[in-house]
Amino acid sequence: MALGAICQPSSALANADNMLPMPRQIDMGKRSIRLKRCSLAPTPLKAQWVEWLSESGVTVKPDDKFAITFDSVSSLPGNSPEAYSISVARDGIVVGARSQQGQYLALQTLKQLADADRRGLKIQECRIVDYPEFPYRGIMVDVGRTYMSLPLLKELIASLSQFKINVFHWHLTENQSWRLESRLYPQLNDSVNTTRNPGKYYTFDEARQLVEHAKRHNVILIPEIDVPGHSEAFRRTFGCDMQSVEGMPIIEALIDEACDIFRDVPYIHLGTDEVAFTNPDFVPKMVALARSKGKKVISWNPGWRYAPGEIDITQLWSYRGKAQPGIPAVDSRFHYLNHFDNFADIVALYRSSIYGRPRNDASGQVAGAEIALWNDRNIESDSSIIRQNATYQAALALAERAWTGGGTEYFDSLGTNLTPLRADDFNSFADFERRMLWHKENTLPSDLICYVKQSDVNWLITDAFPNGGDCSMSFPPETEGTAKSYVHNGTTYGTAPATGATIYLRHVWGTLIPTFYADPQPNHTAYAFTYIYSPKAQQAGALIEFQNYSRSEPDLPPPAGQWDGKGSKVWLNDEEILPPTWEGTHNIKDNEIFLTNENCAARPPMAINLKKGWNKVMLKLPVASFSTPETRLVKWMFTFVVTTPDGKSTPDGLIYSPDMSK
Size of the chain in residues: 662
What are the structural domains, with CATH classification, of the chain? 5-130 (3.30.379.10), 136-408 (3.20.20.80), 452-656 (2.60.120.380)
pLDDT of residue 10: 37
Q: What angle do CA 357, 402, 600 make, to 5 degrees?
A: 110
pLDDT of residue 581: 98
pLDDT of residue 116: 81
User: pLDDT tens across 444-474, in order?
Assistant: 999 999 999 999 999 999 999 999 999 999 9
CA distance 6 to 360: 42
pLDDT of residue 369: 98
Span of 93-102, 183-192, 318-327, 415-424 with lowest mean pLDDT: 415-424
Q: The whole model's pTM is what? A: 0.96
* Rounded average pLDDT over 348-371: 93
8 pLDDT more than 60: no
pLDDT of residue 391: 98
Confidence of residue 364 (pLDDT cuts 50, 70, 90): confident
User: pLDDT tens across 183-226, in order?
Assistant: 999 999 999 999 999 999 999 999 999 999 999 999 999 999 99
CA distances from 642 to 444, 461, 480, 606 (A): 22, 18, 25, 9
419 pLDDT more than 90: no
* Beta-strand pair 613-623/524-534: antiparallel
pLDDT of residue 516: 96
* Rounded average pLDDT over 33-42: 94
Q: For a pLDDT cut of 90, what percent of the chain falls above it? A: 92
* Count of beta carbons in the 10 Å neighbourhood of residue 631: 22
* Rounded average pLDDT over 573-579: 98
Span of 404-418, 465-479, 580-594 with lowest mean pLDDT: 404-418
pLDDT of residue 12: 41
For 563, counting Cβ atoms within 10 Å of its Cβ (0-12 exposed, 13-18 middle, 19+ buried), the class is buried
> Shortest CA distance to 574 belongs to which of 492, 432, 477?
477
* Beta-strand pair 25-35/5-9: antiparallel
For 548, counting Cβ atoms within 10 Å of its Cβ (0-12 exposed, 13-18 middle, 19+ buried), the class is buried
Confidence of residue 13 (pLDDT cuts 50, 70, 90): very low
User: pLDDT tens across 218-271, in order?
Assistant: 999 999 999 999 999 999 999 999 999 999 999 999 999 999 999 999 999 999
Question: 130-164 b/e with 16+ CB inside 10 Å = b?
Answer: bbbbbbbbbbbbbbbbbbbeeebbebbbebbbbbb
Backbone angles phi, psi at 511, to 5 degrees: -75, 0
Contact 376, 145 (CB under 8 A): yes
Confidence of residue 9 (pLDDT cuts 50, 70, 90): very low
Confidence of residue 15 (pLDDT cuts 50, 70, 90): confident
Higher pLDDT, 32 or 344: 344
CA distance 352 to 410: 4
